[in-house]
Amino acid sequence: MKHHIDFEPIGRRVDVDDDTTILDAARAGGVELMSVCGGVGTCYECKVRVAKGNVTPVTDIEQDALTADDLAQGFRLGCQCAPIGDVKIDIPAESLSTPQRLQVEGQGAEVELDPVAKIFDVEIPPPSLHDLRSDASRLIESIQCDHAAISLVLLSDLSSTLRRLNWRARVIARGDEVIAILPQDQSVLGLAVDIGTTKVAGYLVDLQTGETRAKAGVMNPQIGYGEDVISRIHYANTHKHGRETLQEKIVEGLNQLVDDLCSLANCSRDQIVESVIVGNTVIHHLFAGLPVEQLGEAPYVPAISEALEFRAKEIGLRLAPGAYVFLPPNIAGYVGADHVSMALASGIGETAQTVIGLDIGTNTEISLAHQGRVICCSCPSGPAFEGAHIQDGMRAAPGAIERVQIRGGVIQVHTIADQAAVGMCGSGILDAIAELINVGALDSRGGMKMDHPLTRQREKSKEVVLVDAQHSGHGRDVVITRKDINEIQLAKGAIRAGVEILLKVAGIGSGELDRFIVAGAFGTYLDLESAIRAGMFLDLPRDRFRQIGNAAGSGARRMLVSKNQRAAASDLARRMEYVELTVHPDFEKVFVKGMMF
């Protein structure tokens, strides 16, 4: 007998026979449900929630894997149950493999729609000998906004546009300025972008409905000029037109991203009338063409920390000709608009609770909300979690190991898109380290115990083979080395130190934390247990953690559709207190301790 399975939030329906497990059904339907053990019931990764309908009874394996609370809420393991009749299955973000998580994260920015761009559908009387008003006058009077001005870039095509549209137009005004004139059947879109040091995420949002019409990512093309922001500042300072080159590169990247988004949403860039772009302070400055010299020297002050807006055209970003770019405020040289945006989206600015929020990237920014204060800092965590500086590291792409388990002395891996392994992305590296600690292959200083069966010495390198050459995608072993582990120690030590110093500044202990929010792509895909086991995160009760996806991007989308949210971001930025970690007397001690396992 056939049953329907509706997978949410993916929104995909799969029809299956009796006795087909949810995991098999997911695979058959192209739903990338996580599984490391291959469905034998040892990895517990394929956790799903039965939202509607009935499935086969709970197995012994599920009794071990799931808490009573989980079971009460309908959680099951996908490999252990099969539908009895039609069911609806809800897949938590952490049980989805990377590509589909990218599709569903950051949904539902629930803000009241109040975009800076206002939309008017008008029918304009054409000129005649009895009505000699200028084209601009008749347009402005049609939207009943006497003080409106029309920007030069629009005026240059205004007369032909109005005649081509036969005097029926959708007019978009921003404050007192008319910024676009579209046919009445075209939707009005906004662009939200989170420019990371390594990756760029873009969202196309319908400004009338708030709906996200398309999402896409590109690599930050500035990578070729320096992996981290310090090396990009150096490039800008030491090369002729260095700053201009870095600006051109990122603008080119965004133009490419806009192309991709427009293809996905089947629209034109002329429909994109507004954009909100977030990034760290160095990225922000390089994008806007601002000086970065002073960000490379103490006391590391930004050229500007206030919100900034200008025409997209001014920097060569190709949206609608009259479109604007809004850059939210930043806090300090190393706490940027992206963190303000994340703090906005995660509610850190408004909470009455004591909350840590962190956004892991090449630079990791952390905020602590406690009794009305919001204290923040910046940790140079480096690009190791993006796969850089790791011998077999790679970004989260098909063939990347994203989960590692060691069961009975055997290493099991799960790769993105179930392709043969060719490397490891951040969450895989972190898993590998946590599992190697668990099985006693690593000591507390990160050293490999060479008497452990999983370790080996090869030439000068101590290493562990995760996937051997016979099973890999490129015919070589995929390994994790002592040096890789050291890179991760530096990164996670910096993050842990940042958290510890913020707690010290606030004068509280970790037990007082109500919530520990982890944002960013890597922060969302990482295995929480691994992060805690590796000492990167505090060992708090698990229900205090929230992995919230690209919150900086969500915040950007909020500001895209809401003037109030822009004001809230500026207010939040003014309130946030910046702590310079490196001058804190305890920093070095805490950092060294943080590197330990």
Binding stretches for a second copy (CB under 8 A): 127-129, 131-137, 140, 149-153, 155-160, 163, 288-291, 293-294, 298-306, 308-310, 314-315, 330, 332, 578, 580, 583
| Residues 333, 571, 358, 309, CA torsion sign | negative
Structure token digits, residue 316: 């060569």
Using the minimum distance from each CB to a second copy, give the nearer residue, 140 or 491. 140
Task: Report whether 455 contacts 447 (CB < 8 A).
Answer: no
Q: Residues of 190-201 as b/e, b for ≥16 C-beta within 10 angstroms?
A: bbbbbbbbbbbb
Shortest distance (Å) from residue 295 CB to a second copy: 9
Using the minimum distance from each CB to a second copy, give the nearer residue, 140 or 278. 140
Shortest distance (Å) from residue 327 CB to a second copy: 10
Using the minimum distance from each CB to a second copy, give the nearer residue, 106 or 279. 279
Structure token digits, residue 285: 């400055």
Shortest distance (Å) from residue 145 CB to a second copy: 12
Shortest distance (Å) from residue 137 CB to a second copy: 6
In SS3 terms, 353-398 reads as: CCEEEEECCCCEEEEEEECCEEEEEEECCCCHHHCCCCCCECCCCC
Shortest distance (Å) from residue 250 CB to a second copy: 15
Shortest distance (Å) from residue 313 CB to a second copy: 9
| Residue 449 burial by Cβ neighbours in a 10 Å radius (0-12, 13-18, 19+) | middle
Looking up tokens 């790791």, which residue turns up?
390
Shortest distance (Å) from residue 154 CB to a second copy: 10
Q: Which amino acid is at 154?
A: L
Residue 293's SS3 state is helix
Longest Cα–Cα distance of the chain, Å, equals 97
Using the minimum distance from each CB to a second copy, give the nearer residue, 101 or 285. 285
Task: Report whether 530 contacts 437 (CB < 8 A).
Answer: no
Using the minimum distance from each CB to a second copy, give the nearer residue, 114 or 244. 244
Using the minimum distance from each CB to a second copy, give the nearer residue, 121 or 176. 176
Q: Which amino acid is at 485?
A: I
Cα R_g (the chain), whole angstroms: 26
For helices 426-438 and 482-506, what crossing angle results, to 10°? 90
| Closest CA relative to residue 254, chosen from 342, 207, 317 | 317
- Kind of pairing, strands 168-174 and 515-519? unpaired
Shortest distance (Å) from residue 363 CB to a second copy: 17
| Residue 113 burial by Cβ neighbours in a 10 Å radius (0-12, 13-18, 19+) | exposed
Using the minimum distance from each CB to a second copy, give the nearer residue, 267 or 307. 307
Using the minimum distance from each CB to a second copy, give the nearer residue, 154 or 526. 154
Please provide the DSSP assignment of 468-526 as one string. -TTTSSSSS-EEEEHHHHHHHHHHHHHHHHHHHHHHHHHT--GGG-SEEEEESHHHHHS
Shortest distance (Å) from residue 232 CB to a second copy: 16
Structure token digits, residue 533: 């086991």
Shortest distance (Å) from residue 321 CB to a second copy: 12
Shortest distance (Å) from residue 167 CB to a second copy: 13
DSSP letter, residue 438: H
Instruction: Identify each DSSP E strand in 520-559 by its residue range.
Output: 545-547
Using the minimum distance from each CB to a second copy, give the nearer residue, 236 or 267. 236
| Residue 8 burial by Cβ neighbours in a 10 Å radius (0-12, 13-18, 19+) | middle
Using the minimum distance from each CB to a second copy, give the nearer residue, 496 or 566. 566
Using the minimum distance from each CB to a second copy, give the nearer residue, 67 or 166. 166
Using the minimum distance from each CB to a second copy, give the nearer residue, 135 or 484. 135
DSSP letter, residue 399: T
Count of other CB atoms within 10 angstroms of residue 11: 9
Shortest distance (Å) from residue 580 CB to a second copy: 7
Using the minimum distance from each CB to a second copy, give the nearer residue, 291 or 440. 291
Task: Report whether 119 contacts 172 (CB < 8 A).
Answer: yes
Shortest distance (Å) from residue 377 CB to a second copy: 13
Q: What are phi and psi of 20, to 5 degrees?
A: -85, 125
Task: Report whether 220 contacts 303 (CB < 8 A).
Answer: no
Task: Report whether 391 contacts 423 (CB < 8 A).
Answer: no
Using the minimum distance from each CB to a second copy, give the nearer residue, 353 or 578. 578
Shortest distance (Å) from residue 4 CB to a second copy: 55
| Closest CA relative to residue 29, chosen from 70, 78, 64, 74 | 78
| Residues 171, 173, 176, 179, CA torsion sign | negative
Using the minimum distance from each CB to a second copy, give the nearer residue, 232 or 496. 232
Structure token digits, residue 468: 């051997």
Shortest distance (Å) from residue 324 CB to a second copy: 11
193: left (phi over 0), alpha (psi -120 to 50) or beta: beta
